[in-house]
Structure 1
Amino acid sequence: MFTVSLFSCTGCVNLHYNDYAHTKVLLFLYVLSLYLYFNVIFPGYGTPRSEAINLLANTSYTKVEDYIIAHSKYKLSNFNYCEACNFLKPERSHHCKTCNTCVLKMDHHCPWFAVCIGIKNHKRFILFLIFSLMFTITIWIDSFRHVYMGIKTTSQEGNTKVQFKICYLLFIASVFILTLLVFTGYSIHLVLKNTTTIESMNIQDKLEKKELLMEEGRHIDLGHIYDLGYYENWKQVMGHKWYQWVMFGENDNIKILSSTFNGFLFPVNDEILERQQDLLNRGLLV
């Protein structure tokens, strides 16, 4: 991906060798995207075992289970444990067979990064998609303008002024834009709904199997227990303050909301929680 991006950046720099300001913008977006790419990989995604050490070191609890029971908004009759990891498997966590570990609030395993996207690198992943899309759009605009002017000049003078490499660059940029638009749009949509790729797939499976609850001939909307509204959902992933949304460090919310948002517990929608609890008590939800 970045080999193609480097070629693209080089091509656009050639287009603007007299426009130093424009060249600086292109190089800045490229370097920033490259930095975020590696920033997604190396800080890690957050595993129950590693984060449990940090949690217990900063609290008076000796077991994570005791901490969860003390701070959870709903009653827990039992805990899930991963047989492969031989460790606690908190809510929203999943075991990745490729990474061979459980991941806190696992979104998905990304083959382009060769790591999982989890609670600790989700924000960086979103920023990478956004800035990479901006970089690709800039390249597309530059290459399209060059091709358009080349065609216009050719029609006036009769000599071909369009370079093949720029046409190829325009094609590659178009493919990247369409791909990144889909990935970025879908990823932001999931953030705004406070759900993950895995959770959205589970919901879709239920819809396909028609496992919808019905009461008096009407579908019952269970809702999503972690959905706190677009703004709160966005802040939970991207940062508590607006200026933190473009900062590349770890999401400060993990520290600010340490008692309710640390990979072991998450803020929940009280209204939806009560609705689901009522359905559970009436035997309509299993």
Structure 2
Amino acid sequence: MLITHPRVMLMNVQWMDATARFCGSLTSLFPKVFFSTVNIWTLYALLSEVCYNQISLQSERPGVAILVGLIGVFLHVMCAYTYFMVVIVGGGSPSDFPELRIRNLDSLKANSQDPPEFQEQDQLLGDTEADVYRDVPPTQWVDFHITRPGTSPYRYCLKCKVWKPDRCHHCSSCNRCVLRMDHHCPWFATCIGYHNQKLFIQNLMYIGMYSGFCLVVSAVYLFSFFHHQEYEAGYLSLRLVFLFIVSLVFFVTIGVFGMFSMWLVFRNTTTIEFQDQRWSWGDKASSRSSGPNIFDLGARNNWVSVMGNHWVYWVLPVQFTQKDIASPVNGINSVVDEEAYDEWCQSVRAQEQLNKQLREYRDGLRGVEGEDRNV
């Protein structure tokens, strides 16, 4: 039976939307619950089994037990705090700045037409549905570097209705544009971008230190248990074994991923840019990623641009970025290597010239084929 009554169809649509939102909330909630559960359980196992049972009771060293417990609690708190700060702060979006919002997208699209000579460049340098050529660009707020040389192109997002600065991408999972988007992390159910990348790196560092600390402590007492053949007179604690296994898994996985993430920071390359450069997915991606990395300012300057210019920012989860349009650390503009940028522009101009020659050659072949048909 075909349902055609508008009220019935509207109720079905509302029910489907509510179901989709509920499933989305569960998907977003699961990683947070999983992380909190594992983090709390490891602290419980560390304090109850290692500090209290192994050190305080059996070894009769309460001072060492207190010290180990304090270190474990500190690392546990820092892991939890940096994790949830990554989610709360978010990557940042052009939508946070009223100056970058497009008030009338239809009027903008109607009044913006690329000259014919830029049509090939659209395919080379940007999204054809998100590039616009205007005579009066918002140069007072946004400096564009990865653009067509000698022109005033601006990328904008049709869904968010905002101007898109360099390194800004639209995330389909978060349904918003993210400034200097690195990647969408399912374990945080949010995007890693300009404002929370430092917190993300710190979270990986603290999880690595916490899991490494638990791994070493549990390994010491497991080794002592088998070395002194304590299994002949007693039983091995399963909490100690599970703590060792969980710590080992997290230490290896988070350690490898953390080193890779810090390597990207030292190169001032996002995960998206790394994938484009590594795999060259599609003609548009390969053309954008070809040439030198214009954002690479040297290892120290790259690290400072993400983690802050003082060691306090590197160690503590203290924010130094701002969501102020007048601030130099708002994520809208990026400092570039001028020499690398000039080299990149020359590469783009050479590619434009090649595209022009290929287009003329193709048109010439079509003309010859047309004459042959007429004959």
Per the alignment, residue 41 of structure 2 pairs with 7
The alignment partner of 1:116 has SS state of: strand
The alignment partner of 1:28 has SS state of: helix
297, 312, 316: which one aligns with 1:228: 297
Per the alignment, residue 266 of structure 2 pairs with 192
Per the alignment, residue 340 of structure 2 pairs with 272
Matches of 1:208 and 1:102, distance apart in 2: 21
Per the alignment, residue 218 of structure 1 pairs with none
- Normalising to structure 2: TM-score of the pair? 0.65
Tell whether the 8 Å contact from 1:154 to 1:161 is kept in structure 2 after alignment: no
Instruction: Confirm or deny that 1:16 pairs with 2:16.
Output: no
> What are the ranges of 5 or more consecutive residues in structure 2 without an aligned counterpart?
1-34, 53-61, 102-135, 356-375
The alignment partner of 1:250 has SS state of: coil
Q: 1:197 to 1:212 in 2, by over 3 A?
A: closer
236, 240, 251: which one aligns with 1:162: 236
What is the letter of the counterpart of residue 303 of structure 2?
A: W
Tell whether the 8 Å contact from 1:153 to 1:161 is kept in structure 2 after alignment: no
- The alpha-carbon deviation at position 40 of structure 1 amounts to 0.8
Deviations 1:127-185 (A, max 9, x none): 11101110000000011011101101226x73345322211221111111111012101
Per the alignment, residue 60 of structure 1 pairs with none
Deviations 1:52-90 (A, max 9, x none): 5599xxxxxxx9823256x55675531111111122111
Matches of 1:267 and 1:4, distance apart in 2: 40
What is the letter of the counterpart of residue 297 of structure 2?
A: L
What is the letter of the counterpart of residue 198 of structure 1?
A: I
The alignment partner of 2:331 has SS state of: coil
27, 33, 40: which one aligns with 2:73: 27
Q: 1:227 to 1:106 in 2, by over 3 A?
A: same
What is the letter of the counterpart of residue 42 of structure 1?
A: I
Per the alignment, residue 194 of structure 2 pairs with 119
The alignment partner of 1:88 has SS state of: strand
Q: 1:124 to 1:53 in 2, by over 3 A?
A: farther
172, 187, 200: which one aligns with 1:97: 172
Q: Of Structure 1 and Structure 2, which has the larger fraction of its residues in helix? A: 2
Matches of 1:80 and 1:45, distance apart in 2: 19
Matches of 2:276 and 2:41, distance apart in 1: 40
Per the alignment, residue 263 of structure 1 pairs with 331
Matches of 2:322 and 2:346, distance apart in 1: 31
Per the alignment, residue 205 of structure 1 pairs with 279
What is the letter of the counterpart of residue 272 of structure 2?
A: I
Tell whether the 8 Å contact from 1:108 to 1:116 is kept in structure 2 after alignment: yes
Q: 1:110 to 1:64 in 2, by over 3 A?
A: farther
- The alpha-carbon deviation at position 280 of structure 1 amounts to 2.6
What is the letter of the counterpart of residue 6 of structure 1?
A: I
Matches of 1:106 and 1:72, distance apart in 2: 16
Q: Which has the larger radius of gyration?
A: 2
Tell whether the 8 Å contact from 1:123 to 1:251 is kept in structure 2 after alignment: no
**Pairwise CA RMSD:** 2.9
What is the letter of the counterpart of residue 51 of structure 2?
A: H
